[in-house]
Chains A and B, each alone.
Chain A
Amino acid sequence: MMILSGDGPRSKALSALLIVIVLVLALAPFLFPGAKPANVAANICISVLLVASYDLLLGYAGIVSFAHVMFFGIGAYGVAIALYGLGASWGALALGVLAAIPVSVVLALAIGLFSLRVQTIFFAMMTLAVAYAFNVLASQLSWLTGGEDGRSFQVPEILRPGFKLFEGDVFGVAISGRVLSYYLVFVVCALLFLVLLRIVNSPFGRVLQAIRENPFRAEALGYRIVFHRTLATCLSAAGATAAGALSALWLHYTGPDTALSFSIQIDVLVIVVIGGMGSMYGAIAGAAVFVLAQNYLQALMGKLSSAAADAGLPLLPGLFHPDRWLLWLGLMFILAVYFVPTGIVGRLRGRG
């Protein structure tokens, strides 16, 4: 249990679910060869990291931020700009990541110091405004970011699809650069997830939870609220930046739609709530369920929409159009907030 920081899933059903998800993710390239399943699996891994780092803020510290995707974007753009400008080398990649993380942390520190002194609700509004301004800047500074088109770039040789590690196949699957990329994403996400789990179960994490439950009392016990909240913001920003860097590395592309779009922020919020706020395991369960639904339910919606159009029903084709995916997501989100506030994890732990 050391590796789980002493914070096990505490439920047989939840343990089983998590083991299945992690095993499937670990063996994904062998179980489901092909481009689309690989994308889905990598997407789940990156979402787990992004959502877990958001949960540190929302679930453990009780702070609502709308700038999480901005930090994700900083990571993605850091890698993109470095690899685009300096060429496809490991040095450039490292430079991109090492430059992006301090940028994120300093920005998080500034936002935190500015708005967490007053009220957490200030923070929600501030982050929304800052994230919006950042989006505008990123699409305007096209000499740096490629503007609306974004940046496509080459990754180091080993990670390219054409690269082969061995001559032959392993269990019928060629170990290409794509498979190696996937395992890079998987391993980094898994490690950082364990780090986050360690953080929330440390004394620092306990203080965060105390502040969330009763800030006055925590302060009276001698904990500096602003310090803890701001530190949580910075740690969470660093996690999101790492997720963004991995995402850019996987996609070989960074643009406003993949790295900064507000709909990613909404996805993250929805996943945290569906998975279960205030539990890191919620990130794994929520991300897996959500990404699978996003990739396979949208197709179903398209079929429903055209079926409704064929049947001549009014309005329904519009409501089920795949572009209206967010509508159903929003409804699901509201219902989850009302009726299943503890999410999948809470339900499986039997205190739904």
Chain B
Amino acid sequence: MSVIDAGAALPRQRIDILPALTPLLVALVAAPFIGSASTFVTLTLAGLAMGMMIFTMASGLTLVFGLMDVLNFGHGAFISLGAYVATLVLLPLAGWSQADSLGANLAVLLLALLAASLVCGAVGFVFERVLVKPVYGQHLKQIMVTIGGAIVAEQLLYALFGPEFIPLPLPASLRGSFILGNAAIEKYRIAATIVGLAVFAGQMLILNRTKIGLLIRAGVENREMVEALGYRIDRLFIGVFMAGSALAGLGGVLWALYREQVHASMGAELLVLTFIVIIIGGLGSVGGCFIGSILVALIANYAGFLVPKLALVSNILLMVVVLLWRPRGLYPVSGR
């Protein structure tokens, strides 16, 4: 009878590196076609910034799906809501955001991001309790109820804020761009990249280094087993749902500032993009979602420069190619 050594390390998981290299591959393939080095740098950095923004919006969605099999079609509404909350902060405090002081600019920006996250998290709580909870485990109803929620939320935003586009100017010190050699790099994109990377790093830390993260990862892999061990996965889920909604709001602010305008229809548009990203990444996988976001954004930027006509459908083509290669996405989550 063999003795099981409890102290022995688990066999190391093989890290699947191939999908993570795809953005690099895409950049290498695109580089010779673009030709000019400065254009290439500008496009690549713009793509990375856009990817970080998309990741911020999409990461919550993929975890919410992974944990409870809930596909939240109302996610887009949180993106719009976050953007509108930002207008409520940034427009009255225009004195701060347009002041010639980096400190005041960043303070007001952080305030806007914080307010958007808090409001979206709180609304996410209500949304989950009222709409999603009664239909746990019933896919068809879930899809329909969250769509209904998305419609109602979008229409309420129209009723509250009006159907017009609301201009949202960038804080003064984030306007303009650095010149690096011949390449122009917009300042705001760097800021957005930093926020996105911080979100990614934070998520990775929480998921990999805390008990809650362990439970979330275990729940994504096998919900019933975690429940059998006595953990209340629905409590965990509502936390993840609120965090996901808050991140959607955060991403909404970033996107609205990037576009410098706010409209309730932006949520539905970005919902499609986030769906594509999480399908490409593998439903439930945060790492896959990160790679997927970068891939989608890079290809959108390169295609927009090289073949503008194709850029409109580049996302779909990318999705088709990825699914041909890996039918369950780049990083498939087992049991799904």
Contacts and interface: CB of A to CB of B under 8 A. Distances in A.
Given A129-B279, A266-B147, A318-B159, 7 more contacts: A128-B275, A129-B276, A130-B316, A137-B312, A140-B309, A273-B144, A327-B155
B224 to A, nearest CB: 17
Contact of B328 (A62, A118, A326, A337): A118
Nearest to B336: A119
Contact of B144 (A126, A137, A269): A269
A315 interface: yes
Interface centre among B144, B150, B283, B327 (most CB of A within 10 A): B144
Given A114-B323, A330-B155, A337-B144, A129 B275 contact: yes
A329 B101 CA distance: 48
Interface string B69-99: 1010000000000000000000000000000
24 contacts: A64-B144, A115-B323, A118-B328, A119-B336, A121-B69, A121-B71, A128-B275, A129-B272, A133-B316, A136-B312, A137-B313, A262-B268, A273-B144, A324-B155, A324-B158, A326-B155, A327-B152, A327-B155, A327-B159, A330-B155, A333-B148, A334-B145, A337-B148, A341-B141
Interface string A262-303: 100010010001000000000000000000000000000000
Contacts, number: 99
Nearest to A265: B147
B151 A333 contact: yes
Contact of B312 (A114, A140, A262): A140
Interface string B178-209: 00000000000000000000000000000000
A128 B272 contact: yes
A30 interface: no
B304 to A, nearest CB: 13
A117 interface: yes
Contacts of A132: 269, 272
B152 A331 contact: yes
B245 interface: no
A330 B145 CA distance: 9
A121 B139 contact: yes
A132 B309 CA distance: 15
Contacts of A124: 71, 143
A121 B163 CA distance: 32
Residue of A117, A124, A132, A266 with most partner-chain B CB within 10 A: A132
Contact of B151 (A121, A133, A273, A330): A330
Contacts of B323: 114-115
A64 to B, nearest CB: 5
B20 to A, nearest CB: 22
Nearest to A316: B159
Interface in A309-346: 315, 318-319, 321, 323-324, 326-327, 329-331, 333-334, 337-338, 341
Contacts of B301: none
Interface in B277-336: 279, 283, 309, 312-313, 315-316, 319-320, 323, 327-328, 336
Contacts of B37: none
B322 to A, nearest CB: 11
Nearest to B272: A132
A319 B159 contact: yes
B315 to A, nearest CB: 7
A315 B159 contact: yes
A163 interface: no
A15 interface: no
A333 B74 CA distance: 14
A330 B152 contact: yes
A352 to B, nearest CB: 16
Interface in A100-156: 114-115, 117-122, 124-126, 128-130, 132-133, 136-137, 140
B176 interface: no
A333 B160 CA distance: 21
Contacts of B163: 323
A338 B159 contact: no
Contacts of B328: 118
Contacts of B147: 266, 269, 333
B217 to A, nearest CB: 21
Given A121-B71, A128-B275, A333 B313 contact: no
Nearest to B268: A262
A331 B269 CA distance: 22
Given A64-B140, A318-B159, A330-B152, A133 B275 contact: no
B34 interface: no
